[in-house]
């Protein structure tokens, strides 16, 4: 009885806070799993776990805050956010901080900030804003404009260079265009054109990017360099077997064989220590979150909400697929974190803000309808 | 754009979105299914493969070299031991400035250009995380000095190892040999697994001959390493099996006495227990300190050893081939008796010289005594070393029969002793001369061979071996250095049975005649070594020998002092004692020492005196050997078996 009352009390408050309890539960489960595996992947570094927890709390706060903002308001902000983001990206290229051979950060004095992160949200918002004003499906001219809206920031980000983020921003843009009603025939034409342009793309790629692709195709090419990551990661995952070696018992993870094991390659640690069963559970959590996002999009009552909710859910899905795919040797090594699990702050805040939007879309639905 | 077209159709839009969302949902599920398939492939189908790779990744097998077996003399005196030694090891990746560090280290420990050159060579073959020794065998002062200043040298550490040490220095090297750093050629033919981690290898002597026994079995540490190869922890430890401890037949005291007796001369002395072939002493002079070779001798010092005219590196006892001179006479006498050329009591006139009957050149083979010896029987011929008697005997015997009989005592071939570097002597035949020199055999060759000159050559070991057989009236044992093996773990000593050889069988009366002559050498005033053994506590049977080094014939009144050193005769002496029940047989060669009586016999006397005094007791008026080995079954537990962990 008392339990019920409390539960309904919590549910009530969550509703009042525009927080979707299903999403929240799945996210919290994911976050908890992430902290556990981070403790192992960081070499049992409690400080790192504490820092990550702080960030997660902050990100949860951002999520709750964004959820409070009515969708209509967010929609109005979309162009402003988008153009501000573009300016910041230009600023990065002109004045940005150089780190690891790329200009990605702006030093704001108190923190370093990656404007490309804004674009992960600003691009789908801008596109949704653009399409919501017009009847769908889009005309050819609208598609060209939409393409430009996506391509501009993608090129700026790719120039930094930050291939992973450029890819994600491009993908999320394409999802909006797809959801807006891009015809399958046009898609087929672009697919052919895209394949045709691969050699051109190859020409413009940086040496290290080409190396990554080649290494992906044949990891043994460079077993101590770029291929080393993939080989060691596959060894970690493969040696985990069905049941895994157990938490904190992964030798690959614990003994420094895995590079970047607490950031991009954290899934390898998970795969080694929790095995196939653990990996399936983790992937199921992700699938659940994505499908819940799509569900929210389906139920949304206006085009803008649908497009934003659908594309953000898909971006989240792409995040997971690119990261896990890279770790298990399905995709080339691209610097994309495993959302909400990899150690690191910026992308986590963006993702939680996206979920805040999703929750807002869901909980403000009736208000809009009425 | 027409107005109609710009009109929205929310239901149519919614339906289209719904379809596309479902398509995307299905796509997501499909993509995740691909990931799941891939995971199943990695974690189920290929699991074994990756598990094996993961294991290889993290576990390195590190070989733990076994401690080398110790070497004792017959009384349990350590001849070769393992002592802790400190070396300076450098871990390159931890050294911020190698050149600066090496320079700064010079003020703390002595570093020769040799050390630095060797270090830099080794550096190139190792990973940066592997330690490379820079200096071996630090002095205690250097260890202390470094310990205090260690903070200045990150990546440099002192490491304890076990180092082979020969406490007797040069006194034992000719028998025991030494170990040195294992070289590429040796690595080629050893069991690579068992020698993983082994740095030293027996180079000469017993150390080389019993290398495998002394080495033991390698142990292994399973070490968990991280990706950079740095050790995390030891997973399992399979201890090495130490090499067997060897108990040699040598008597360290006797060995030292011989060494001292030969000091300042070139020569060799070998003593054998005739009852079983135990080599009691095996000394070559001058000698050198084997400890110089253990961790690599400096090129300067090696050049000095090589250039030394007295050839200290040459093992005269085993490889020195000398004309045996008159020491061959007892064997010749026996050959004459056995072949019926002479009889035991036959008196033969021996004048100042002898001529081959019917020799047109009338060549005179002179006796050492210009007046001759008159009527001589076989015993007297030995006692007074009558050359003329043996010229005649050899001629009548003929070279083939001489070869046939003397080879039964082991002349002309190596004894097969259990050590390295032995040379056979030479017992010539016409066939040999044709083959080796492309010349025919002259009767004169036979005549001079009868007094151990000409082509006949024997090593000191062969002489001692033959003397032992003589003392035992033909009973023969293969000379040996290894007397017993001690299991390093149980401490159990297993004695090695003597290796009996085909005995030389002749009538007892022949032995008596010959041995009487040998005993008279020291017992009768007309014996050639009488003066050297006058007043000696034991009855010694012996035979002197003086062998010309070159074919120069010196005039009768030339004194030794006027002859250049290198042209002086070699002095030889063979003996055994006590004469009636021998416990020790010796052979001594003193190069350029002149007469064997004055040069070699005193060396033999000192050796016999020491050995009999220290190893025998009188029981019922008879000299018997004190038991030695059984009392030594529990040799003290040996030196530290394991190199201590670095401090």
Residue scoring higher pLDDT (B104 or B298): B104
Determine whether the interchain pair A306/B17 forms a contact, defined as Cβ–Cβ distance below 8 Å.
Answer: yes
Nearest residue of B to residue A259, measured between CA atoms: B227
Query: Looking at the predicted structure, is the pLDDT value of residue B637 above 70?
Result: no
pLDDT band at A122 (very low <50, low <70, confident <90, very high): very high
Nearest residue of B to residue A275, measured between CA atoms: B43
A186 at interface of B, judged by CB pairs closer than 8 A = no
Task: Please identify which of the residues B326, B379, B471, B599 carries the catalytic annotation.
Answer: B326
Residues of B in contact with A358 (CB under 8 A): none
Give the pLDDT score at A369.
Answer: 42
Determine which of A107-116, A356-365, B11-20 has the lowest per-residue pLDDT on average.
Answer: A107-116
What would the two tokens of residue A10 be? 């919590």
Residue scoring higher pLDDT (B390 or A166): B390
Query: What separation in angstroms does the CA of A313 have from each of A120, A352, B16, B25?
Result: 12, 12, 18, 10
Q: In the predicted model, what is the mean pLDDT of residues A74-94?
A: 90
pLDDT band at A65 (very low <50, low <70, confident <90, very high): very high
Residues of B in contact with A242 (CB under 8 A): 43-44, 47
Give the pLDDT score at B2.
Answer: 42
Q: In the predicted model, what is the mean pLDDT of residues B358-362?
A: 87
Given A135, A256, A330, which is nearest B38 (Cβ)? A330
Query: Looking at the predicted structure, is the pLDDT value of residue A95 above 80?
Result: no
Give the pLDDT score at B362.
Answer: 87
Determine which of A12-21, A321-330, B277-286, B584-593 has the lowest per-residue pLDDT on average.
Answer: A12-21
pLDDT band at A109 (very low <50, low <70, confident <90, very high): low
Determine whether the interchain pair A181/B31 forms a contact, defined as Cβ–Cβ distance below 8 Å.
Answer: no
Residue scoring higher pLDDT (B236 or B552): B236
A304 at interface of B, judged by CB pairs closer than 8 A = no
pLDDT band at B3 (very low <50, low <70, confident <90, very high): very low
Q: Is there a catalytic annotation at residue B326? A: yes
Determine which of A9-13, B356-360, B539-543 has the lowest per-residue pLDDT on average.
Answer: A9-13
**Which residues, 6 or more positions from B322, have their beta carbon under 8 angstroms from its beta carbon?**
B457, B458, B459, B460, B547, B570, B572, B589, B591
Given A178, A306, A328, which is nearest B39 (Cβ)? A328
Determine whether the interchain pair B6/A135 forms a contact, defined as Cβ–Cβ distance below 8 Å.
Answer: yes
Q: What string of DSSP letters covers B418-468? A: SSS-----B---HHHHHHHHS-PPPHHHHHHHTTT-TT-BB-HHHHHHHHH
Query: Looking at the predicted structure, is the pLDDT value of residue B634 above 60?
Result: no
Query: Looking at the predicted structure, is the pLDDT value of residue B195 above 80?
Result: yes
Q: In the predicted model, what is the mean pLDDT of residues B442-455?
A: 92
The length of chain B is 647
Query: Looking at the predicted structure, is the pLDDT value of residue B121 above 90?
Result: no
Query: What separation in angstroms does the CA of A246 have from each of B222, B267, B634?
Result: 22, 74, 53
Query: Looking at the predicted structure, is the pLDDT value of residue B287 above 50?
Result: yes
Query: Looking at the predicted structure, is the pLDDT value of residue A103 above 50?
Result: yes
B531-578: per-residue pLDDT in tens? Answer: 999 999 899 999 999 988 764 444 444 555 667 777 788 999 999 999
Give the pLDDT score at B641.
Answer: 38
Model pTM above 0.80: no
CA distance A322 to chain B (A): 10
Given B17, B28, B42, which is nearest A287 (Cβ)? B28
A134 at interface of B, judged by CB pairs closer than 8 A = yes
CA distance B13 to chain A (A): 6
Partnered with residue B534 across adjacent β-strands are: none
Residues of A in contact with B235 (CB under 8 A): none
Given A139, A235, A307, which is nearest B53 (Cβ)? A235
Mean pLDDT estimate for chain B: 87
Q: Which of B623, B330, B327 minimizes the C-alpha distance to B473?
A: B330
Residue scoring higher pLDDT (B339 or A248): B339
Torsion angle in degrees (nearest 10) through CA of B165, B169, B170, B173: -30
B478-532: per-residue pLDDT in tens? Answer: 999 999 999 888 888 888 999 999 999 999 999 999 999 999 999 999 999 999 9
CA pair distance B171, B188, nearest whole angstrom: 32
CA distance A196 to chain B (A): 24
A252-296: per-residue pLDDT in tens? Answer: 777 777 778 888 889 999 999 999 999 999 999 999 999 999 999
Q: Which of residues 306-365 of A touch B (CB under 8 A)?
A: 306-307, 310, 314, 317, 321, 324-325, 328-330
Given A137, A181, A287, which is nearest B32 (Cβ)? A287
Residues of A in contact with B17 (CB under 8 A): 179, 181, 297-298, 303, 306-307, 310
Query: Looking at the predicted structure, is the pLDDT value of residue B6 above 60?
Result: no
- My answer on whether omega of the bond before A319 falls inside 30° of 0, hence cis, is no
Give the pLDDT score at A111.
Answer: 57
Give the pLDDT score at A35.
Answer: 93
Give the pLDDT score at B574.
Answer: 96
Query: Looking at the predicted structure, is the pLDDT value of residue B95 above 90?
Result: no
Residue scoring higher pLDDT (A107 or B152): B152
Residues of A in contact with B50 (CB under 8 A): 234-239
Determine whether the interchain pair B25/A291 forms a contact, defined as Cβ–Cβ distance below 8 Å.
Answer: yes
Query: Looking at the predicted structure, is the pLDDT value of residue A3 above 60?
Result: no
Q: Which of residues 8-27 of A touch B (CB under 8 A)?
A: none
Q: What string of DSSP letters covers B49-105? A: HHHHHHHHHHEEEEEEPPPPPPEE-TTS-EEEEEEEEEEEEE-GGG-S-HHHHHHHH
Q: In the predicted model, what is the mean pLDDT of residues B399-403?
A: 95
Determine which of B85-89, B136-140, B228-232 has the lowest per-residue pLDDT on average.
Answer: B228-232
The predicted complex's ipTM stands at 0.89
Give the pLDDT score at B188.
Answer: 79
Give the pLDDT score at B554.
Answer: 44
pLDDT band at A27 (very low <50, low <70, confident <90, very high): very high
Q: In the predicted model, what is the mean pLDDT of residues A34-55?
A: 90
SS3 state at B124: helix
């Amino acid at each position: 009885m008392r339990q019920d009352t409390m539960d309904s009390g919590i549910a009530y408050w969550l509703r009042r806070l525009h927080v979707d309890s299903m999403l929240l539960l799945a996210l919290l489960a994911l976050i908890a799993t992430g902290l556990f595996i981070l403790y192992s992947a960081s070499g049992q570094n409690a400080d790192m776990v504490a820092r990550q927890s702080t960030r997660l709390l902050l990100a949860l706060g951002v999520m709750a805050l964004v959820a409070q903002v009515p969708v209509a308001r967010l929609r109005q902000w979309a162009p402003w956010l988008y153009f501000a983001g573009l300016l910041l990206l230009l600023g990065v290229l002109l004045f940005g901080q150089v780190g690891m051979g790329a200009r990605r950060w702006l030093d704001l004095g108190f923190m370093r900030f990656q404007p490309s992160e804004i674009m992960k949200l600003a691009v789908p918002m801008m596109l949704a804003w653009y399409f919501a004003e017009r009847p769908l499906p889009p005309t050819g001219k609208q598609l060209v404009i939409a393409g430009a809206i996506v391509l501009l920031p993608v090129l700026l980000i790719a120039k930094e260079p930050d291939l992973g983020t450029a890819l994600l921003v491009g993908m999320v843009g394409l999802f909006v265009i797809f959801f807006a009603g891009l015809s399958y025939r046009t898609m087929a034409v672009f697919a052919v054109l895209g394949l045709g342009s691969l050699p051109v793309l190859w020409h413009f790629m940086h040496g290290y990017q080409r190396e990554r692709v080649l290494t992906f195709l044949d990891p043994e090419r460079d077993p101590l360099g770029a291929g080393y990551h993939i080989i060691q990661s596959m060894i970690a995952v493969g040696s985990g077997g069905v049941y895994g070696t157990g938490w904190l018992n992964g030798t690959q993870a614990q003994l420094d064989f895995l590079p970047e094991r607490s950031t991009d390659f954290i899934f390898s640690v998970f795969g080694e220590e929790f095995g196939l069963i653990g990996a399936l559970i983790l992937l199921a959590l992700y699938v659940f979150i994505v499908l819940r996002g799509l569900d929210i999009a389906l139920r949304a009552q206006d085009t803008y909400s649908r497009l934003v909710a659908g594309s953000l859910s898909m971006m989240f899905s792409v995040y997971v697929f690119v990261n896990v795919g890279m770790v298990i040797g399905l995709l080339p090594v691209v610097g994309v974190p495993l959302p909400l699990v990899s150690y690191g702050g910026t992308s986590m805040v963006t993702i939680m803000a996206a979920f805040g939007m999703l929750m807002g879309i869901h909980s403000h639905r009736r208000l809009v309808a009425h | 754009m027409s107005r109609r077209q710009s009109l929205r159709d929310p239901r149519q839009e919614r339906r289209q979105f719904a379809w596309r969302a479902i398509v995307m949902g299905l796509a997501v599920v499909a993509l995740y299914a691909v990931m799941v398939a891939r995971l199943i492939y990695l974690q189920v189908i290929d699991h074994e493969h990756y598990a094996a790779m993961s294991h290889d990744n993290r576990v390195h097998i590190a070989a733990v070299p076994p401690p080398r077996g110790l070497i004792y003399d017959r009384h349990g005196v350590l001849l070769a031991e393992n002592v802790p030694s400190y070396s300076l090891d450098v871990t390159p990746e931890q050294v911020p400035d190698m050149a600066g560090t090496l320079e700064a280290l010079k003020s703390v420990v002595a570093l020769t250009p040799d050390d630095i050159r060797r270090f830099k060579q080794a550096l190139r073959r190792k990973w940066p995380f592997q330690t490379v020794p820079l200096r071996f065998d630090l002095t205690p002062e250097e260890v202390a000095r470094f310990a205090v200043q260690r903070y200045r040298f990150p990546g440099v550490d002192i490491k304890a190892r076990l180092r082979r040490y020969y406490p007797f220095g040069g006194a034992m090297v000719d028998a025991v040999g030494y170990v040195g750093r294992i070289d590429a050629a040796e690595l080629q033919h050893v069991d690579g697994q068992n020698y993983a981690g082994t740095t030293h290898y027996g180079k000469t002597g017993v150390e080389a001959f019993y290398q495998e026994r002394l080495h033991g079995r390698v142990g292994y540490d399973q070490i968990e390493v991280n990706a950079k190869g740095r050790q995390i922890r030891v997973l399992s430890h399979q201890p090495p099996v130490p090499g067997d401890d060897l108990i040699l037949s040598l008597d360290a005291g006797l060995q030292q006495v011989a060494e001292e007796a030969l000091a300042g001369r070139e020569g060799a002395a070998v003593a054998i227990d005739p009852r079983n072939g135990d080599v009691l002493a095996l000394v070559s002079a001058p000698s050198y300190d084997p400890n110089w070779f253990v961790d690599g001798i400096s090129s300067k010092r090696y050049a000095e050893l090589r250039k030394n005219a007295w050839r200290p590196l040459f093992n005269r006892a085993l490889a020195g081939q000398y004309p045996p001179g008159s020491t061959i006479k007892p064997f010749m006498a026996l050959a004459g008796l056995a072949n019926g050329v002479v009889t035991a009591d036959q008196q033969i006139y021996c004048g100042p010289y002898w001529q081959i009957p019917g020799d047109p050149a009338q060549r005179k083979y002179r006796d050492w005594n210009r007046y001759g010896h008159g009527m001589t029987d076989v015993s007297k011929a030995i006692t007074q070393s009558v050359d003329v008697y043996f010229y005649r005997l050899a001629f009548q015997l003929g070279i083939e029969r001489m070869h046939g009989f003397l080879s039964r005592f082991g002349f002309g071939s190596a004894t097969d002793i259990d050590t390295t570097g032995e040379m056979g002597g030479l017992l010539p035949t016409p066939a040999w001369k044709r083959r080796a020199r492309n010349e025919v055999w002259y009767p004169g060759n036979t005549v001079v061979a009868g007094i151990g000159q000409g082509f006949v050559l024997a090593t000191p070991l062969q002489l001692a071996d033959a003397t032992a057989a003589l003392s035992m009236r033909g009973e023969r044992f293969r000379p040996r250095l290894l007397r017993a093996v001690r299991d390093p773990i149980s401490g159990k000593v297993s004695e090695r049975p003597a290796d009996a050889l085909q005995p030389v069988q002749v009538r007892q009366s022949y032995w008596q005649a010959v041995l009487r002559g040998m005993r008279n050498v020291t017992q009768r005033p007309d014996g050639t070594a009488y003066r050297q053994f006058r007043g000696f506590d034991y009855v010694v049977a012996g035979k002197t020998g003086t062998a010309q080094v070159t074919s120069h014939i010196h005039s009768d009144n030339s004194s030794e002092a006027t002859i250049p050193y290198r042209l002086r005769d070699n002095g030889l002496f063979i003996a055994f004692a006590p004469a009636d029940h021998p416990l020790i047989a010796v052979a001594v060669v003193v190069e350029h020492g002149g007469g064997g009586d004055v040069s070699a016999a005193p060396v033999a006397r000192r050796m016999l005196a020491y050995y009999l005094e220290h190893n025998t007791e009188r029981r019922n008026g008879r000299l018997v050997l004190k038991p030695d080995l059984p009392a030594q079954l529990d040799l003290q537990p040996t030196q530290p078996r394991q190199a201590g962990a670095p401090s």
